[in-house]
């Protein structure tokens, strides 16, 4: 919780620092396809489809921009046990909810008044609010989840008048789950639609 508060303070400090520049403020929501990448040859991971919803700010510096965000996101993945070189059955389903706080920098490849096309990348700070595991295997437990983790996002986006669309990939830089059987990182693809309110 302390890290979340400090990150939120940084978020609003950044907004006030660049208040003299043109900026957009809006709401966003979308779908994400996430996967638990495991480091064990005994298990295989598969993706699940979920959602995210939150807010964003964009400080526009002509062709360049800075875009801090904060949103609630549901992630997870299924783990299948491998027997004889083939996945046998799903032994665990991981589900966890996070508050993600990306701080992105981008460049507008096309910078028109009504339409622009953008690229963006930057760090994302994730804080797990709750987690659960549906499992038939006693080797797995939600106690092995970390409370927070760090990662990177990168992708492309476009704006059409007051609408904004992003497609991104997110990879955690460290483990978010460290158990007796394996450790796991987060891999997520996000597709987002936003509305500019300012």
The CATH number of the domain where 62 resides is what? 2.40.160.20
User: pLDDT band for position 9 (50/70/90)?
Assistant: low
Of 192 and 177, more confident:
192
Domain of 46, in residue numbers: 2-196
3-state secondary structure of 47: coil
The residues, any chain, with a CB within 8 Å of residue 50's CB and separated by 6 or more, are: 31, 32, 33, 34, 73, 74, 75, 76
The residues, any chain, with a CB within 8 Å of residue 110's CB and separated by 6 or more, are: 116, 117
User: pLDDT band for position 10 (50/70/90)?
Assistant: low
Is the confidence at residue 178, as pLDDT, over 70?
yes
**DSSP string for 88-119:** EEEEEEEEEEEEEEEEEEEEEEEE-SSEEEEE
pLDDT score, position 2: 61
Is the confidence at residue 18, as pLDDT, over 60?
no
Each residue of 54-99: pLDDT tens digit? 999 999 988 999 999 999 999 988 887 776 656 566 777 888 899 9
- Considering its fold, how many domains does the chain have in total? 1
User: pLDDT band for position 44 (50/70/90)?
Assistant: confident
């Amino acid at each position: 919780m302390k890290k979340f508060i400090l990150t939120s303070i940084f978020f609003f400090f950044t907004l006030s620092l660049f208040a003299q520049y043109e900026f957009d403020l809006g709401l966003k929501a979308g779908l994400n396809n996430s996967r638990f990448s495991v480091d064990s040859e005994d298990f295989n991971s598969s993706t699940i489809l979920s959602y995210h919803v939150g807010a964003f700010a964009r400080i526009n510096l002509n062709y360049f921009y800075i875009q801090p965000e904060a949103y609630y996101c549901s992630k997870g993945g299924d783990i299948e046990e491998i027997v004889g070189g083939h996945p046998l059955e799903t032994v665990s389903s991981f589900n966890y909810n996070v508050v993600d706080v990306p701080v992105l920098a981008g460049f507008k490849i096309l910078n028109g008044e009504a339409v622009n096309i953008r690229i963006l990348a930057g760090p994302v700070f994730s804080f797990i609010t709750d987690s659960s595991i549906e499992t038939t295997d006693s080797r797995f437990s939600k106690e092995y989840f970390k409370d927070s983790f760090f990662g990177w996002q990168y992708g492309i986006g476009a704006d059409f008048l007051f609408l904004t669309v992003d497609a991104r990939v997110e990879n955690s830089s460290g483990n978010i789950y460290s158990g007796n059987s394996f450790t796991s990182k987060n891999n997520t693809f996000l597709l987002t639609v936003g509305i500019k309110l300012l």
